[in-house]
Chains A and B, each alone.
Chain A
């Protein structure tokens, strides 16, 4: 990552989109960076934290996205430049504050960088955060390639200062995590002194108190900012047209779809028939630029991911200027040419252009996909989504599942966001029955726990990771405790924000820059709220199940902390607690009395079925040595011995 700090202006590197964004922020001399981790956005703050070792930057993994934005905003109104990164649904969390920031205005350049995840590759939703820009009335930028990711980030700070507005910039997984060639700009020395001025009247953009009241005048100021943005966007170099002067088909696109559109036109050899209008400033749209390009042709195809944001906004302009540019035939989401779900790719764009322009083109024959699948099946084993070998969540869900089944009252677990979201799948023994937003597990459970007056007598449990606990679970837990809801809150404490790459959180001792911080113990928090708190090690399955069963006999809000470090945590990785082996002579395998409990149900990837011997065997390469499987074997065939240290 040394290229991030390369002072050699004009140097060219193959760079991941998120790194290009980081470089852009560094070239803009960003002072403060904050975020809550979430794929595909996490690398942005991770790499800026590396920059903090070389430059005077404050970098923070904040407790949640709303607080992250508040932290970045403070820097802005103290006159510094700041960036705040999050994944798509993080914007929902930050949106209440965002609504007010739009009205209050900003000072130093501030950029809200959100990475959307079309196709939900690393998400449990396919949220489209672009709509916040229109709803909250803020400018929105979407880089169309890797170079633009750098340039646009850098420019976003200038634009923010010019408009006195926060700028929303949207990336997507295939831009953030893919790589492309990027030419570096000048890397200066960060400057700026923090001072919050508040001596003049509210509404003074430079030195007044920063509040949103009186609202109508502030709202007018906000809308004037958008008008100014339109004027700037009309001339922005990030809005480009490539293609013939009068194409048969005009593609209007943005973001990574720009790359897919270019590839599709290239594949079809249709460069002389198709023009591409790539919009970088997707809200507010510059109407003159749009009108000018709509006038080129009568057929327009929209290429964008998920919902028809660009499409609908362009159509408004097209309707208003129909007398000038004529009636258009639109192809996109609304007429069904494109889907409103999932990722876009060049093939989809090729298919759309083929149909519209009646081009004969076959990229691959029909049998190709089938043959590829067959070859793949022969080479790669079928893999489930599962927990890693030695993952404490497998043991935790084993305990939860068994205790709930033993209890026999159709109890269930409300889930939350983390690796343990997989608890609804067989790897978690299908124990988790709800899964929504961060902190919602305990919130939903809190509601369930008040349904006893309607006859609900199922035990109600909520699971929550340690990072999620701080993010959004605490208010819901307070709600449950205060309202005497009959719930068991199970904190799956694996000592880090494991899913996104071990970012620190308030329960861990280091900040994003590696400096010591005081630990906030979730147990202390729960106790101070008045909950009874018990600890257990999920690897101790007998004790954990016993505790769960006992807790299920009680009423009110109860807290059980299942504490065991993530198998991949830097502190644990590679260190086995136990050497584990299977005595294949004792293994009952498929017979009545076992029926392959370990390889059929428990299914740690470290346990393998030996077809030849018809017995289980340990895959020593990946076994993490947690030793849990030794305790579940009904015939005692799995042996564990303490590993040499």
Chain B
């Protein structure tokens, strides 16, 4: 049965076909050096359906079961760490925006906190409470995207549309405070560039009033939905020991059972004054991650409410400080620059880099929406950092993808990828 004209390289197919029809293998001879491959290679390529960002996964499938995966990243490598060696401190804030662009205020605040740690700046309480409000809003906004995209990937587009409407409300709040929607570039070293005005507070209050019902409706759609549960329970589980070994942090680690939250372990920005629970899951699979993120959104709303209440004690123009009194690092407001001499001189000195920077190295981290976002800053006394390294949670936990999807079905790979909340900007930096 050897047909030389059919030597197209499909010998394996020929063998499998012959075996299926019950004919003997002796009639077919494989050519020298050919390898019999029984798995299919599927390229879950860099162009995903618009939601996850660009990363490539080459899957080896046996039927529909995944045998192994190989990840290629770097499709959006923008060399942030090299750019940061060229830019003075205020110019690095727009770079940090674009790390995890779904929750840019957290990145901005993390960067400013790192600079404040290096420079020894202490912020007043009111600034801390305002920072808490902004960071929790950003956390809600990021978790909303993640959870609704998990919904979209399992086939339910409605949840996504419901919550995008409320992300628009959060964007309006950002616009009131800093002027832009997504890449916010909020804040200064020592505080904020302007006070939150009344309209901003009204919008925050409106968000707090309207959003809980929407969140309840969103949870009703998914949490006890049989299809969703069957899709996500058991998909991509990870044990606590393996998660810790892989360097997981944030909701992914908490879903595996470890209650490590940077806000509790090393409180920054007066988080120790607030009361909140850290939700923890048990198996670390997609369903647990979904639930942990939902519960974190409720906790964030409670934190914002507590912060608004704490801000009541600072009413009145004298007490409404929005920045620390550090003229050598805090870029003054334009109206002061144009009218007061000292502000003009400080503005000039800060921009031109005439301020002495301490030499040293500092590592600071904040609880980003995906985990511990760390900044390792080596300063040599010059205007720009000597070395700035971002400890990016997405980069670190994407390594575990192979272990998470061993032996799973192909559709589980998609759900695991979206429930890990992989943001390509943060992964490749």
Do A and B interact?
no
